[in-house]
Amino acid sequence: MKRYLITFSYDGTHFAGFQSQPELRTVQQEIEDALCFINQKKKTPLVASGRTDAKVHALRQKAHFDLNVEITLNKLKRALNSNLSEDIHVIKVEEVESNFHARYYVKRKKYLYKMNLGEYNPLERDYVYQYNHTLNVGAMKKAIKHFKGTHDFRAFVSENSMKEECTRTIYKVSIKRNKLNRDLLEFYFEGTGFMKYQIRNMVGYLIKVGENKVKPDSVVKVIESKNRMKAGKTAPAEGLYLMDVIY
Amino acid sequence: MKRYLITFSYDGTHFAGFQSQPELRTVQQEIEDALCFINQKKKTPLVASGRTDAKVHALRQKAHFDLNVEITLNKLKRALNSNLSEDIHVIKVEEVESNFHARYYVKRKKYLYKMNLGEYNPLERDYVYQYNHTLNVGAMKKAIKHFKGTHDFRAFVSENSMKEECTRTIYKVSIKRNKLNRDLLEFYFEGTGFMKYQIRNMVGYLIKVGENKVKPDSVVKVIESKNRMKAGKTAPAEGLYLMDVIY
């Protein structure tokens, strides 16, 4: 028995999220079906670094599984890709220690959120959040800095996650205009981990700041309130990308 | 009666091309249906700068039509967009002279062809041609220059177009690596007009050059041959973008 770590990308548009659910098309189920085929029809569980929601994309998601089949890393990569739909792609296969765990061993995760402030582009309709009003981007840049550090992010998580421990550390944040398309705003977050809806809720609050409805410094108070009602709307899923997972 | 010129973008993925065809979803039909609705249920023909094939994208396609309805340009733009699917978008509506013609008045057309030489990216599967071998890009850059100028492009057009006059002028050509993704090769063509499959056939021949199967200078001989059999494969549609139309 060997443990493998895979790095893979997917277009979240036509998935009901990462995690297997009966009757729904999910990333986990697609990959487990491919693994089952490769692993002599044996059920082969996939353990990912974490879930992503419906319509959320991943450029470098990571997951582990165990196989008892003689196969080289290159052949395993090819066998997986030839059994996966065209909206999932395995980039890399590595062998790891038998105690490696794709979720527990995560040190950092990197996310990007893309938002278009310019003319609607039909080619990007599933890949950016289209926002048709003007925003005070300067205020948003001030506000996003307040998310840095170690905080109890209870005010920014989905109701389901509130019973869990909500303290996380965010190491890096930024808002930048894309170099080739100045109308495209890119929000970057790097931290120990993010809870369900956390990034989309943080972006939702930053939009409120950009609309001049609240001040940049108010982020501090909302974090301290630990009250979901203070934060506001959840930004749409299609703008969110899991960019990388660091072990 | 007023004549309008519209500038619009579309994602070609789910269209059977631009031109109306019975039983098939086409860009022309979608826009004519929207115009019919706006024009008090009257059939309203749309005349575009030219056709695009199935799966080919457009960032700034242009077309004209006539309307006998009192409506401002802004309202007409909104009325069109609210009656169009999310994979077509009208960027601009202008009023033009009653003798303006969206096809006959074309001075230049600009096309881009995108080809990915790096790892397959599922998010771009409908938007770039995925090429999984190495290419001699230097040789391709030499070869593409031979397409510049006024030539009879008979060797590079679809069989259906061969009966027509095939002389066209190409003003600008280039092959560049995308600034944010060096694995993404972008072929640019600007000229008086391009016939069916012409750009995809020119790109197909450039790939043959990049594979070192033919020399860069051989482009000259193939053009002179006026023989479709000499040119080679047609590059796939999903990499092709109509970038702009100049009047």
B88 in reach of chain A (CB within 8 A)? yes
Q: Report yes or no: A141 and A177 within 8 Å, Cβ to Cβ.
A: no
Does the structure show a pLDDT above 70 at A162? no
In chain B, what residues touch A10 (CB-CB under 8 Å)? 122
In chain A, what residues touch B55 (CB-CB under 8 Å)? none
Q: Is A213 exposed, middle or buried (0-12, 13-18, 19+ CB in 10 A)?
A: exposed
Q: Where in chain A is the domain with CATH 3.30.70.580?
A: 2-96
Question: What is the rounded average pLDDT for all residues in chain A?
Answer: 96
Does the structure show a pLDDT above 80 at B196? yes
Can you tell me the mean pLDDT for B161-181?
91
Q: How far is A91 from chain B (nearest CA, A)?
A: 7
In chain B, what residues touch A123 (CB-CB under 8 Å)? 9, 11, 57, 59, 127
Can you tell me the mean pLDDT for B219-231?
91
Q: Which of residues 101-130 of B touch A (CB under 8 A)?
A: 119-123, 125, 127
Can you tell me the mean pLDDT for B104-109?
98
d(CA B168, CA B177): 27
Q: How far is B52 from chain A (nearest CA, A)?
A: 16
DSSP state of A236: P
Asked if the Cβ–Cβ distance from B88 to A122 is below 8 Å, we say yes
Percent of chain B residues past pLDDT 90, beyond the cut = 94
- The token pair at B88 is 């077509």
Can you tell me the mean pLDDT for A118-141?
97
Instruction: Identify the pLDDT of residue A230.
Output: 83
Q: Which fold has domain B2-96?
A: Alpha-Beta Plaits (3.30.70)
Question: In sequence order, what are the beta bridge partners of B10?
Answer: B58, B88
Distance of CA B171 to the CA centre of its chain: 16
Q: Report yes or no: B66 and B31 within 8 Å, Cβ to Cβ.
A: no
Q: How far is B87 from chain A (nearest CA, A)?
A: 5
CA B138 to each of CA A157, B182, B216: distance values in angstroms, whole numbers, following the listed order: 51, 14, 9
d(CA A127, CA B119): 19
Neighbours of B106 (CB within 10 A): 16
Instruction: Identify the pLDDT of residue B177.
Output: 97
By C-alpha distance, which of B232, B229, B227 is closest to B209? B232
Asked if the Cβ–Cβ distance from B9 to A123 is below 8 Å, we say yes
d(CA A50, CA A61): 9
Neighbours of A17 (CB within 10 A): 19
Percent of chain A residues past pLDDT 70, beyond the cut = 99
Closest partner residue to B122 (CB to CB) among A88, A123, A179 is A88
Asked if the Cβ–Cβ distance from B89 to A120 is below 8 Å, we say yes
DSSP state of A161: G
The stretches of chain B forming alpha helices (DSSP H) are 27-38, 73-82, 137-144, 198-210, 218-225
Does the structure show a pLDDT above 80 at A165? yes
Q: What is the pLDDT of residues A29-85, one digit of tens each?
A: 999 999 999 999 999 999 999 999 999 999 999 999 999 999 999 999 999 999 999
Q: What is the pLDDT of residues B129-162, one digit of tens each?
A: 999 999 999 999 999 999 999 999 999 997 776 6
Q: What is the pTM of this model?
A: 0.94
Q: Which residue type, as a one-letter code, is found at position B144?
A: I
* CATH dotted code for B108-246: 3.30.70.660
Q: Where in chain B is the domain with CATH 3.30.70.660?
A: 108-246
Backbone φ and ψ for A82, nearest 5 degrees, come out as -75, -15
Interior angle at CA A130, CA B115 and CA A27, nearest 5? 60
Per annotation, catalytic residue among A53, A66, A217, A244: A53
Q: What is the DSSP string of A27-88?
A: HHHHHHHHHHHHTTT-----EES----TT-EEEEEEEEEEE-S---HHHHHHHHHHTS-TTE
- The token pair at B203 is 């790109």
Instruction: Identify the pLDDT of residue A235.
Output: 97
Q: Report yes or no: B94 and B205 within 8 Å, Cβ to Cβ.
A: no
Q: Note if B33 is an active site residue.
A: no
Residues in chain B: 247
In chain B, what residues touch A127 (CB-CB under 8 Å)? 123
Instruction: Identify the pLDDT of residue B164.
Output: 81
d(CA A218, CA A168): 19
Report the complex ipTM: 0.92
In chain B, what residues touch A87 (CB-CB under 8 Å)? 122, 125
Q: How far is B108 from chain A (nearest CA, A)?
A: 23
- The token pair at B3 is 């004549």
